[in-house]
C-alpha cells in the first residue's frame, strides 16, 4: 500500500471537481464519503456505515461498496483500517491521486 499525505476536504473537493472522466455515481459516492471526515482539515477518520450510507443514497450496498473500492483503486480514498471482519466500519482518509 502506498502511503499518501492526508489532504484537507476543500483541496480534495477542488481536485475531484477538476478531474475529468469520473462518473456521476462515483463522484456522488466520493463526495458523500468526504462528508464523514471527522477532521476536515486533514480529511481523516472517515468511518461511515456503508449500509446506512447506501440507504441514504438509495443504492444497493454492493453498488456502494463497488464505488468505494473504485475510489480507493483510483487514489481518491485510502483505507487506513480494514475492520470489515470485526463488524465495524472500515476507516478511510481523503487522498489525491498522483499525476
Cβ atoms < 10 Å from Cβ of 59:
17
Beta carbons within 8 Å of 71's beta carbon, 6+ residues apart: 26, 29, 30, 33, 77
Position 3 in a domain:
no
Position 99 in a domain:
no
Looking at residue 3, its pLDDT comes to 55
Position 63 in a domain:
yes
Looking at residue 43, its pLDDT comes to 94
Looking at residue 39, its pLDDT comes to 94
Q: Which domain holds residue 42?
A: 9-94
Looking at residue 45, its pLDDT comes to 94
Position 18 in a domain:
yes
Task: Say which DSSP state 84 is in.
Answer: G
Position 2 in a domain:
no
Number of structural domains the chain divides into: 1
Cell of 13: 473537493
Looking at residue 88, its pLDDT comes to 83
- pLDDT tens, position by position, 8-32: 999 999 999 999 999 999 999 999 9
Position 41 in a domain:
yes
CATH number at residue 50: 1.10.10.10
Position 4 in a domain:
no
Position 58 in a domain:
yes
- pLDDT tens, position by position, 35-47: 999 999 999 999 9
Does the structure show a pLDDT above 80 at 84?
A: no
Amino acid at each position: 500500500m502506498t502511503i499518501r499525505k492526508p489532504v484537507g476536504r476543500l483541496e480534495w473537493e477542488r481536485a475531484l471537481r477538476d478531474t475529468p472522466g469520473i462518473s456521476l455515481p462515483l463522484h456522488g459516492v466520493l463526495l458523500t464519503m468526504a462528508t464523514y471526515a471527522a477532521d476536515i482539515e486533514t480529511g481523516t477518520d472517515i468511518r461511515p456505515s456503508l449500509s446506512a450510507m447506501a440507504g441514504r443514497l438509495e443504492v444497493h450496498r454492493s453498488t456502494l461498496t463497488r464505488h468505494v473500492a473504485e475510489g480507493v483503486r483510483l487514489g481518491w480514498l485510502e483505507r487506513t483500517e480494514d475492520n470489515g471482519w470485526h463488524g465495524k466500519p472500515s476507516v478511510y482518509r481523503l487522498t489525491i491521486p498522483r499525476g
